[in-house]
């Protein structure tokens, strides 16, 4: 099962929004929100909450791709998120997530018994590649007790 299939199966909002997981690697995750009238705002584009969920889902996908080998000893949790809406989004939008710290550094902190935190940066773009939003989600790996 791919990371996208796993997220669609276990995260009801990802299923509800019909998110498409296009790429999920430890270096990059790309997730697309199709244009769906049921999730439009008053301007006819994707609702801010749908774009937030899109970006957060892309961040979760890269976290699973980067740290999936450590899920037996730690649980990934979003700590906080900040989003900025930059331009009007119309039609389908795509979120591209990248890790803000090297995987090895985060794992070294986990190995040392710490609870590492790390940022994931996400850009949300229209099909014309204009950036409509930017989000940062800070994640942690909470060691299992």
C-alpha–C-alpha distance, residues 78 and 63, integer Å: 10
Which pLDDT score is estimated for 9?
82
Of 79, 102, 95, which is closest to residue 132 (Cα–Cα)? 95
Which is it for the CA torsion 81, 34, 20, 97, positive or negative?
negative
Which pLDDT score is estimated for 10?
83
Query: In which domain, by residue range, is 42 found?
Result: 3-143
Which pLDDT score is estimated for 38?
95
CA–CA distances in Å: residue 141 to residues 42, 52, 64, 75 = 38, 21, 11, 5
Q: What is the pLDDT of residues 9-20, one digit of tens each?
A: 888 889 999 999
Domain count, the chain: 1
C-alpha–C-alpha distance, residues 19 and 102, integer Å: 27
Q: Which residue has the higher pLDDT, 11 or 29?
A: 29
Which pLDDT score is estimated for 6?
84
Which pLDDT score is estimated for 54?
97
Q: What is the pLDDT of residues 86-113, one digit of tens each?
A: 999 999 999 999 999 999 999 999 999 9
pTM tops 0.85, yes or no: yes
Q: What is the pLDDT of residues 37-74, one digit of tens each?
A: 999 999 999 999 999 999 999 999 999 999 999 999 99
| Domain at 14, CATH number | 3.10.129.10
């Amino acid at each position: 099962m791919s990371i996208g299939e796993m997220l669609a199966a276990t995260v009801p909002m990802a299923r509800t929004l019909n998110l498409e997981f296009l790429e999920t690697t430890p270096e990059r995750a790309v997730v697309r929100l199709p244009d769906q009238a049921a999730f439009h705002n008053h301007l006819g584009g994707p609702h801010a909450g749908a774009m937030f969920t899109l970006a957060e889902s892309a961040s979760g996908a890269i976290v699973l791709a980067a740290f999936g080998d450590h899920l037996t000893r730690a649980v990934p949790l979003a700590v906080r998120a900040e989003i900025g809406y930059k331009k009007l989004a119309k039609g389908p939008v795509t979120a591209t997530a990248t890790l803000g710290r090297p995987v090895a550094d985060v794992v070294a902190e986990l190995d040392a018994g710490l609870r590492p935190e790390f940022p994931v940066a996400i850009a949300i773009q229209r099909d014309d590649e204009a950036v409509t939003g930017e989000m940062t989600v800070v994640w942690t790996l909470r060691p299992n007790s």
